[in-house]
Structure 1
Amino acid sequence: MMLKSLTGVMSWPTAAKGEDTSKNYKTVDDDNTGGVTASAGLMDGVKNATANINDESTADGTEDRFLKLLVAQMRNQDPMNPMENAEVTSQLAQISTVRGIESMNRSMAAFTASAAQNTALASVSMIGKKVLAPGEKFEFDGSQKGDTRLGFELNAKASTARVDISNERGEIVYSHTLENLEAGAHSLAWDGKDANGRPVAAGMMRMSVTALDDRVAVESKTLVPVTVTGVAQTSTGAMLELDHAKPVSPAEARLII
């Protein structure tokens, strides 16, 4: 009987007359095979062959390594206990699954890149327009320009929410209280006048919101009118560059004014 290794055909060794074979050969299973012995060179051949397998991380490289290992396993299997057909089929199904996942990953990566590019192109049309975006400061043009749209978001319902607008000197020029508000986004229009009905001078303004629900503070986020000055493509996707505010994603622009 002969065993085939990865590097060629190797026959059962025959000991020279008077030679001690116990130093070169190892019993595989004395109980089940009746003292069948195998040379240590057999496993060395498998080791050397697998060391030369392509180390690419692609699906093709993975399949190549798998098939070579499977062939090596089948060639060097125990002749008294060969692999079952179901076991071979199962291993082939596994490598097929790996290739399918690799192909799906490539498709998803291409789809994500395409979607990001489309979002950036669509956002270009927003340049020069005003949007309501997260922030505190905004530029007030004066009451003669019409109402100024403002907004805020609440993380939970609130029994009261006071909106304050202060000028560059920190003086509150407008204050308004809303009641019984649900969680989510809310908007209001400011006519540019103070509590006495006098026009407020144009300039940089700061908006703040104090929300309470039965005297318990409710977290809020102010939304102010800012102009989109540009669109930047970043590693996380398209970002809108704003005047007097930090860049935001297109999804954070709550309203185009």
Structure 2
Amino acid sequence: MDVGSVVNTTGSGSTTTATKNAQDTQDRFLKLLVAQMQNQDPMNPMDNAQVTTQMAQIQTVSGISTLDTSLKALSSQMAQTQALQSASLIGRDVTIEGNRLKFGTDTATGVYQLDGAADRVKLEVLSPAGSVIDTVELGAQSKGMQEFSWPMSKAGGNASLNYRITATSGTAAVTSTTYSQDKVEAINISGSKALLQLSTLGTIDYSKIVTID
């Protein structure tokens, strides 16, 4: 089935429902308004300003109801579009916030970002339990995204290692953010969200992606 036809059909159905609901609301209001005018006090009848105000109120309520339905239909269409875009990511590497090392053939790699220039950056490789396996001085680094590699011969057979970055400029600490890289294996559409199934990091929300390689 053509995706475009699904989207159009959904939008059309929602619009028709919204129009019908708005019309029903207006019909009920008009009946009440007519009944009110028929039973009003002849000595104190409603003036034009009152009638105009009530008409404006019902138009506002009807408009809000229609807008709410239209926004829901638009959200559904955007979710379908996101799902199609996500499908193109299968087999590609993505970067998300995290601190898991990415294992290659001979080396493990990691990515981090510095909020400012640092004259000393220290890398600590951590076991799954959190103990320090190795410490490496990465030297001075500039502000922005940085990459490093670490020899897997030091892994001691561990297949899932984390890392920690400590950066300083003089005696002041420099804020750093660590990232994890992994390959997209599959796409899972759950409700209105597109979820990515990564090779080692599990399932993440599409919105968590920082970069696509």
TM-score (norm 2): 0.71
**Equivalences for 1:97-136 in 2 at 5 Å?**
97-136=60-99
Q: Specify the SS of the correspondent of 1:165.
A: strand
Unaligned runs of 5+ in 2: 1-19
Give aligned pairs, total.
189
Amino acid at match of 2:187: V
Corresponding residue for 1:248?
204
Taking only the aligned residue pairs, the percentage that are identical comes to 32
SS across alignment from 2:88: helix
1:151 counterpart = 2:111: yes
Q: What is the SS of the residue equivalent to 1:244?
A: coil
Specify the alignment match of 2:59 in structure 1.
96
SS in 2 for 1:97: helix
Q: In the superposition, relative to structure 1, how do residues 99 and 172 fare at CA in structure 2: closer, same or farther (>3 Å)?
A: same
The answer on whether the counterparts of 2:116 and 2:175 sit within 8 Å (CA) in structure 1 is no
RMSD: 3.2
Moved over 6 A (4+): none
- Of Structure 1 and Structure 2, the greater helix share is in 2
| Residue identity matched to 2:35 | A
Does the CA-based 8 Å contact 1:165-1:205 persist in structure 2?
Answer: yes
Distance 2:30 2:169 in 1: 66
Helix, strand or coil at the partner of 1:204: coil
C-alpha distance 141-200 of structure 1, shift in aligned 2 (>3 A): farther
Stretches of structure 1 lacking an aligned partner (at least 5 in a row): 1-56
C-alpha deviation, 1:216, in angstroms: 5.9
SS where residue 162 of structure 1 aligns?
strand
| Cα deviation code 1:87-110 (max 9, x no counterpart) | 112211221122222222222211
Deviations 1:124-150 (A, max 9, x none): 121122222222224412337xx84x3
How many angstroms apart in 1 are the aligned matches of 2:25 and 2:113? Answer: 50
What's the CA shift for 1:193? 3.6
Tell me the TM-score normalised to structure 1 length.
0.60
